[in-house]
Amino acid sequence: MPRGFFITFEGLDGSGKSTQMRLLARTLQASGREVTTTRQPGGTELGDQIRAVLLNSSTQNVAPLAEMALMFADRAQSIQAIIEPALAEGKIVLCDRFTDSTEAYQGGGRGLGSERVLALHRTVCDDLWPDLTILLLPSLDASLARARRRNGRQLAQGTDENRFEGEGRAFYERVFLKYQEIGARENLRVVTIAEDASVETIEKRIVEIVEERLTRKTSS
């Protein structure tokens, strides 16, 4: 059985990545591919508990290194329970956030630096990297405005995953810059989509990129 294909979606809160991942999953399934979708933090029983603790705004005074370690604890569980088994079965795995998020948010946003994140990744994730990463990076203002509208809706529904969204603009600027740096450094794996186009335009672009990469994989 040939190994599957691992795709991650990255971007700021409000970048539209979760919507795009859902649309891509639907398109791939409609074309007869077997697809597993998951997200980080979360997706496993342990991961959902880690997510609840890390994202709830009532969780306060979290040391940046503790935050990073918990993100990796979640990821290790997700790799063992979801990602590796699905790849071994030849499936396409779509994951909403992966280690690039830790590099951008904890490495950039919290100021821990890239090296510490990448070192932990080598140890805890056995240096597993996606075959392709779609990085949605519209302007900081567009993302922040969308994230704020979503938080308003969430609070009205009684859910609270707002701990990160409570951070100020300077934090998100650091996250944004680190994402740009990752996109430039990892330009074979990461495709950066920076324009703030319609959902349909971005969707079409992503399908083209993914189809091209999947064809390249089967012919290699």
Determine the interface stretch with ligand TMP among 20-28, 33-41, 128-136, 185-193 (rule: CB under 6 A): 33-41
Task: From residue 178, give the alpha-carbon distance in Å to each of 42, 96, 103, 211.
Answer: 23, 18, 7, 28
Contact between 21 and ligand TMP (CB under 6 A)? Answer: no
Task: From residue 196, give the alpha-carbon distance in Å to each of 41, 61, 152, 212, 213.
Answer: 26, 34, 22, 23, 23
Determine the interface stretch with ligand TMP among 22-30, 38-46, 87-95, 180-188 (rule: CB under 6 A): 38-46
Cβ-count burial 103-136 (b if 16+ within 10 Å, e if not): bbbbbbbbebebebbeebbeebbeebebbbbbbb
Scan residues 64-103 and list those touching ligand TMP (CB under 6 A): 71, 97, 101-102
Shortest distance (Å) from residue 107 CB to ligand TMP: 9
User: Which residue lies nearer to ligand TMP by CB, 96 or 131?
Assistant: 96
Q: Site residues (CB under 6 A) for ligand TMP?
A: 13, 39-41, 55, 71, 97, 101-102, 105-106, 164
